[in-house]
Structures are given as structure tokens and as C-alpha cells.
Amino acid sequence: MKNIKPIITTVFLLCFTLTLKAQEKPILTFEQYLENVKNNNISYLIEKYNVDIADANLKASKIFSDPELSVSYGNNQNWNMQMGYGIDAELSYDFNLGGKRKAQMNVAKSEKEMTEALLEDYFRNLRADATIAYLTALKQNKMYKIQQQSYFRMLELAKADSIRYRLGSIMEVDARQSKLEASNMLNDVYSSEADLQEVLIQLLLFQGSKNLVMPDSIAGELFYSKRNFDLQQLIITAQNNRTDLQAVLKSKEVSQSNLRLAKANRAIELGVSIGGSYSSEVRNEIAPAPAFKGITAGISIPLKFSNTNKGEIHAAQFAVKQSELEYEAVEQQIASEVMQAYNKYLICCRQVEQFNSGMLEEAEFILEKIVYSYERGETGILETLNAQRTYNDVQINYNEILYNCALSLIELERTCGIWDIEIK
């Protein structure tokens, strides 16, 4: 019995530990999050099928046209007049002299390359949007902590005021005021927690998998990274890297391939046929004839009167010109987006640096001094509450500006087609 008790205790502790671990929610890191987005995002998986479809269409375009076999049977009253019967067979094939098959393959190949570029562009935007959602969760998590900190500070002050009121050091209205402010801040904490849960659910949506568990918290902090960029070099980089511009370029190639296909469709399709026939013996007494075999060969040349209508050619030519203008328009749009994102990033950096010049420390110093003075009876409750609100506003504004700065960097890298964002 003495040996069994330690074993039972060990098993109980082990089961209790495993139960606690099972109840623990994981901490989501940014690297894990982006990997889940890449592998499980439903919308991205749907877009991937477009590449598979385009690849299947490319394989389908490589097939040759099928030959045609025709067989006919003729009975010339063989049973009652003994006129015999005949069997004819013919094999025919059409040759396109304008390279239609090659043109079809070029169209399918260009469409596949365009689809691949569109998929890359989709992931470029998905990755940026998913990162913004992660930053939003970090911002809301920080907001929740700010509200919690303010509430705990005010709660301690309200408890102290309750004691001071019973000792006769302050008036009843001051004690009630601090208690009311603490209750009001608790409501702010609840509201902030609800907002945090909402953005965490949004992260699950980006990750796509149904089996994922909503994390208890996420790793990382809002970051400030002052980067020195050259605007003209950014524009050149964007025009070289942007996958949507590459997609427009592939769209231009598709239009050119369709023009060549339209010309190939107007070419003559030469039909070649070869056949054989067999006629049985005619045993009719009036006109008997022996059985015989025949061979036929022929060429068919269509009369392309439809080529006088050049609507298909003109439509394809206009599509080529349209795609050229679309390419120029996207180039200009990219340059405009880069300049706007660059200027916004610079402004956000200045705002962060303004806060880093000592605003946070100053607000905290003022709050601590006023709280200390209030506890000594040198200032009133309203001055203390105003100092607390000011400190909260400074923290919240700093959190918001850090978020906007990180957001502007993501948008700048998105517009330039580069990516080196890390959140730790």
C-alpha cells in the first residue's frame, strides 16, 4: 500500500498537467500565420485552380483534328431483282494551311502565363491584406492592455478614496466620482476585449482551415522602422516587380496570339480523302454484271467567300491596341501609387518621431505627479481624472500612429512589389 500511493499521486498529477495543457490556447506567431494563409486560405486555393484549368486548356490545344471515316451500304433490289448491293468507305482529313493548331497553342500558352501572373498578384495582395489584419490584431491587443492598465490604476485610486472618505480626508462626492470612473473604464475594457476577439476571428478567416483554434494571444508588437528609400528607384522597382503589370503584359501577348489565330482561321482548309467501294455480282438475266471494286481519291478546296468579312480580324487588332494602352495606364497607375504610398510613409514616420521625442514620458510623469498630489490632498479629483484621460489619449494616439506607420510601410512594399516585413 505504501508503494501504491506515490504511483497514484504521480498519475493524478500527470493527468492534471495534460488537462491543463489541453486547455491552453496556442500563441500565434506571424510566421505561422502567413504560412497558414499561404497553405489554407480558401480564396487563394480557389484561384490556384485557374492555373490548373489554363494548363489543361494548353494540353487540349495540342491535339490534332480528327480524321473522318464514312461507310455506306446500298441495296439495289438484290433480293427480288438480283441487282446486287454496294459498300462504300471513305477516309477524309482537313489540313489547315495557316498554322491554326500552332496559333491555338500560342493562345493557350499566353493565357496560362497570364493566369500564373494573376495568381501571383492575388497572393501579393492577399499577403499584404493578411499582414494588415495581423497588425490590426496587435493594435487592438495593445489597446486592450492600455484600457486594462487604466482601469486597474483607477480601481486602486477608487479603493484608496473609499478609505480616505471613511477617514474624513476627502468628500463623499470625490470618492463616488473615482468609483464611477473606474466602473466606466471597466466598460471600456469589455468593449476593447470584444473588439480584440472580433479581429482574432478575422485572422482565422484568413487562415482558412476549419480545424484551427482561435489563439489566446498573438506574438509580436507594433513596429516602427525608418527606412531610407529613393523614390525614383522605387518606381523602377515597382514597374519591374509588380505582378499585375506582368499580367497586363501577358494579356497583351494573349491579344496578339488571338490576332494570329484569327488570321489562321481565314486560311484555306484543304480536305483530302481516299476511299474504296465494292459492288457485288449482278445476277439479273437482263443486265448481268460481275462483282468489282473501286478506289477513289479527292481533294476539296473551300471557296472562302467569308473572308471578305474582316470583322474578326479588326476586332482582334483593336484588342491588341487596347491592351497596349492598358499596359501604359497600369504603368502610370503604379507610379502614382508608389508616390502616394511613399509620401504617406514619410508623414507617418514624422508623427512617430514626434511621439518618440518624449511625449509619452512627459504624459506619464505628469500623471504620476498629479496622482501623488491628489493622494496628499493638494489637487482635486477632476484634475486627476483629466490627467488620466490625457495619458490614455496619448497612449492610444501613439498606438494608432505606430499602427498607421507600419501600415504605410506595408502599403509601400505592396505597391513596389517587394516584401521583407517581419513582426517579432
Report how far residue 399's alpha carbon sits from residue 144's, in angstroms, rounded to the nearest whole number: 11
Backbone dihedral angles phi then psi of residue 123, each to the nearest 5 degrees: -70, -35
State residue 6's pLDDT score: 47
CB 109 within 8 A of CB 58: yes
| Residue 202 CB burial class (10 angstroms; 0-12, 13-18, ≥19) | middle
- Quickly tell me which residue has 504624459 as its cell: 363
Q: Are strands 85-96 and 217-218 parallel, antiparallel or unpaired?
A: unpaired
> DSSP secondary-structure letter at 287?
S
Q: What is the pLDDT of residue 182?
A: 87
Phi/psi at 152 (5° precision): -65, -40
The pLDDT score that the predictor gives to residue 120 is 92
What is the pairing mode between strands 217-218 and 292-300? Answer: unpaired
The angle at the Cα of 343, spanning 335 to 414, to the nearest 5 degrees, equals: 55
The DSSP code for 280 is: P
* Spans of the chain below 50 pLDDT: 1-2, 5-23
Q: What is the pLDDT of residue 24?
A: 53
Q: In this predicted structure, what is the pLDDT of residue 11?
A: 43
Closest CA to 395 of 367, 371, 373, 423: 367
Task: Enumerate residues 6+ apart whose C-beta is below 8 A from 221.
Answer: 138, 142, 423, 424
Cβ–Cβ < 8 Å for 34, 128: no
The phi and psi torsions of 215 (rounded to 5 degrees) equal -70, 150
**Helix axis angle, 359-375 to 381-416, nearest 10°:** 160
Handedness of CA 378, 380, 386, 388 (dihedral sign): positive
The model's pLDDT over 364-412, given as tens digits with 9 standing for 90+, comes to 888 888 888 877 877 877 888 888 888 888 899 999 999 999 999 999 9
